[in-house]
Amino acid sequence: MPKTQTKAELIKLFHILIGEIGFDNDDKLALLGEYGVSSSKDLKPMQLMEICQRLQGVRSPSFCEKDKWRKRLIGAIGAWLKTMDKDKGNNLPLIKGIACRAARCKGFNNIELSSLRGLYFAFRKQEKMAQSAKALSIEQMQEIILGAIERVKNERY
């Protein structure tokens, strides 16, 4: 967790994690009671960071696995886009839109784990193919230029 998060961001993360884990209001109050408060707003930033780290450790392994594959897929699509156009590789909404269309899913976080894996490998393959095509084109251009230089040299002598 980055140290640059504001208290408001930590409170938001706290509530997101509570929801992901499935804590009800009583569970949340019990957790806050360990710190002697009844509201997340009453916690100090360091306490919020500590609680968020604890909650992240409690999240289900399947959630963590899906999150890992989501990040991988974003990276793979971004790399694929960069091989074609440097500016598009950093456009997160575009990347998520491509992933959703490829998975035939309305929301990026709704993509199933098996689809995340499959799409990751498919986009990695596409990126490698695009890089190979670029490398081949460069090699072909070099051969053409070197051949032209040789012909010019031979014509002079």
Query: Where is pLDDT greater, at 86 or 67?
Result: 67
Report the sign of the C-alpha dihedral through residues 53, 54, 57, 63, in that order: negative
- Whole-angstrom distance between the N-terminal and C-terminal Cα of the chain? 69
Work out the pLDDT band at 140, boundaries 50, 70, 90: confident
Compute the half-sphere exposure of residue 147: CA atoms within 13 Å on the CB side of its CA. 6
Q: How many residues does the chain have?
A: 157
User: Is the pTM value of this prediction over 0.75?
Assistant: no
pLDDT recorded at residue 60: 65
Give the integer Cα–Cα distance in Å for 124 and 104.
Answer: 19
Q: Of the ranges 25-39, 70-84, 127-141, which one carries the lowest mean pLDDT score?
A: 127-141
